[in-house]
């Protein structure tokens, strides 16, 4: 492991659904290190050589770190708001860089082509201007005032609407999406993507949601999100190179990609380079 990866060693990562831990535990890996997630009170995470790692349980998942996180796991205040349904979507393995998985989640321009007739549809392909910033105090990437036309924005949506979004990246492989809540105007639905980096080119993705929706069956909510992510998976596994290029020039962004540009810049600034390609080849 190179020096540049130290910054990411000290981050928190999801490694299991707390509710789904089998009695024998979950054997997995984190950034190339074999680990086991063991059920119990407290839940433990141990490395192959017997080291106990720090553990925190939050947002339905078991989180751990190979290093010494300097701060607690990021906060999602909406998670504690009364009336929300917390939805555990499960795990999907993707042969891609964990950073590519996050970047794809921050992108709206692909909706008409990858999530056709659900999150987007031609001819409504235009991405309007939106605001992007790196918030210095929180040290997070934020995109706000994002709007896009969606034929079926959520499981509970019955027709097309212009949907508002905000995107937030509080950690290098975790991202939170706030979007128009069809059931409760004025509130935001929260949809997250928590990514467990197994290696630089392989990840387990754990989507999770906190929604205002009393109508839709829980299973339908889970399946809607699984469907959306599985549509992305075939894209993510066929991007070249597998690693996310951080140097400009290898890929060409446009105005629609400003969130991605800010995310890449933020990763580079913090030396969050596990899963990144630094020198164009």
Partner 1 sequence: MPVVTLRDWIPVALSADLPAATVIPAHTPSGILALWRSANGELATLADRCPHRGMRLSYGFVRGEALSCIYHGWSYGQNGQCRRIPAHPDLTPPAAIKAASYPTEERNGVIWIALGEPKAPPPALEGFKPLRSITLEVDAKLISATGDVRTRLAGVDVLLLIVGISGSETVAHLMVDAAATESDCVTVSRAAEGWRRECEQLGVKELAS
Partner 2 sequence: MILYDYILSPDAYKVRLMAALTGLKLELWAVDMHPGREHQSEPLLALNPAGSIPILVDGDLILTESAAMLVYLAKLAAPEWLGENDAADAARIQQWLSFSRRLTDHLGGARATEMLVEPGDLPSLQRAGTVDLREVEAALAERRIVGQCFLAADRATIADIACFPYVALAPDGGLSLDPYPSIRLWMRAIRMLPGFIEMPGIHRLHELKPEPVSDMPETV
Contacts with partner 1 in 198-227 (CB under 8 A)?
Answer: none
Helix (H) or strand (E) holding 112: helix 111-114
Residues in the chain: 281
95 and 201 in contact (C-beta within 8 Å)?
A: yes
User: How many Cβ atoms are within 10 Å of 37's Cβ, its own excluded?
Assistant: 23
Residue 34 engages partner 2 in binding (rule: CB under 8 A): no
Q: Which of 253, 269, 270, 280 binds partner 1 (CB under 8 A)?
A: 253
**Rounded Cα gap, residues 88 and 221, in angstroms:** 10
230 binds, among partner 2, partner 1, none (CB under 5 to 8 A by kind): partner 2
Residue 162 engages partner 1 in binding (rule: CB under 8 A): no
Q: Residue 110 or residue 184: which is nearer to partner 2 going by CB?
A: 110
220 binds, among partner 1, partner 2, none (CB under 5 to 8 A by kind): partner 2
Residue 279 engages partner 1 in binding (rule: CB under 8 A): no
Which has the closest alpha carbon to 195: 66, 92, 52, 59?
92
Stretch that binds partner 2, among 78-86, 161-169, 230-238, 251-259 (CB under 8 A): 230-238
> Which residues, in sequence order, are CB contacts of 244 under 8 Å at separation 6+?
97, 99, 100, 103, 264, 267, 275, 276, 277
β-strand partners of 191:
177, 209
Q: Which of 47, 144, 147, 239 binds partner 1 (CB under 8 A)?
A: 239
3 binds, among partner 1, partner 2, none (CB under 5 to 8 A by kind): none
Q: How far is the CB of 103 from partner 1 (least distance, A)?
A: 8
Q: What is the CA radius of gyration of the chain?
A: 18
110 binds, among partner 1, partner 2, none (CB under 5 to 8 A by kind): partner 1
Number of shown-chain residues binding partner 2 (CB under 8 A): 32
Residue 226 engages partner 2 in binding (rule: CB under 8 A): yes
Residue 125 engages partner 1 in binding (rule: CB under 8 A): yes
Q: Which of 234, 248, 270, 280 binds partner 1 (CB under 8 A)?
A: 234
241 and 279 in contact (C-beta within 8 Å)?
A: no
Residue 256 engages partner 1 in binding (rule: CB under 8 A): yes
Stretch that binds partner 2, among 142-150, 184-192, 215-223, 243-251 (CB under 8 A): 215-223
Q: How far is the CB of 132 from partner 2 (least distance, A)?
A: 27
221 and 90 in contact (C-beta within 8 Å)?
A: no
Which has the closest alpha carbon to 103: 260, 273, 221?
260
**Rounded Cα gap, residues 45 and 32, in angstroms:** 15
Q: How far is the CB of 166 from partner 1 (least distance, A)?
A: 19
Cβ burial, residue 36 (10 Å; 0-12/13-18/19+)? middle
Interface with partner 1 (CB under 8 A) = 109-110, 112-114, 122-123, 125-127, 234-235, 238-241, 245, 250-256
């Amino acid at each position: 492991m190179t020096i540049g990866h130290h910054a990411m060693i000290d981050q928190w990562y999801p490694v299991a659904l707390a509710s789904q831990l089998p009695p024998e535990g979950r054997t997995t890996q984190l950034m190339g290190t074999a680990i086991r997630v063991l059920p119990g009170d407290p839940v433990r995470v141990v490395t192959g050589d017997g080291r106990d790692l720090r553990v925190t349980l939050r947002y339905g998942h078991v989180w751990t770190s190979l290093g010494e996180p300097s701060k607690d796991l990021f906060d999602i205040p909406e998670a504690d708001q009364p009336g929300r349904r917390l939805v555990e979507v499960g795990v999907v393995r993707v042969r891609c860089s964990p950073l590519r998985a996050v970047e794809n989640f921050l992108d709206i321009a692909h909706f008409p082509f990858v999530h056709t007739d659900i999150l987007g549809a031609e001819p409504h392909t235009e991405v309007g201007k939106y605001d992007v910033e790196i918030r210095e105090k929180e040290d997070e990437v934020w995109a706000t005032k994002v709007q896009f036309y969606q034929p079926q924005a959520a499981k509970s949506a019955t027709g097309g609407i212009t949907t508002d979004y905000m995107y937030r990246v509080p950690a290098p492989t975790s991202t939170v999406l706030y979007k128009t809540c069809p059931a409760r105007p004025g509130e935001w639905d929260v949809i997250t993507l928590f990514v467990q980096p197994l290696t630089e080119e392989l990840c387990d993705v754990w989507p999770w949601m906190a929604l205002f929706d009393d109508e839709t069956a829980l299973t339908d909510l889970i399946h809607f999100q699984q469907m959306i992510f599985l549509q992305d998976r075939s894209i993510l596994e066929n991007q070249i190179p597998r690693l996310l290029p951080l140097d400009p020039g290898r890929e060409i962004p446009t105005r629609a990609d400003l969130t991605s540009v800010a995310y890449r810049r933020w990763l580079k600034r913090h030396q969050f380079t596990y899963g990144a390609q630094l020198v164009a080849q």
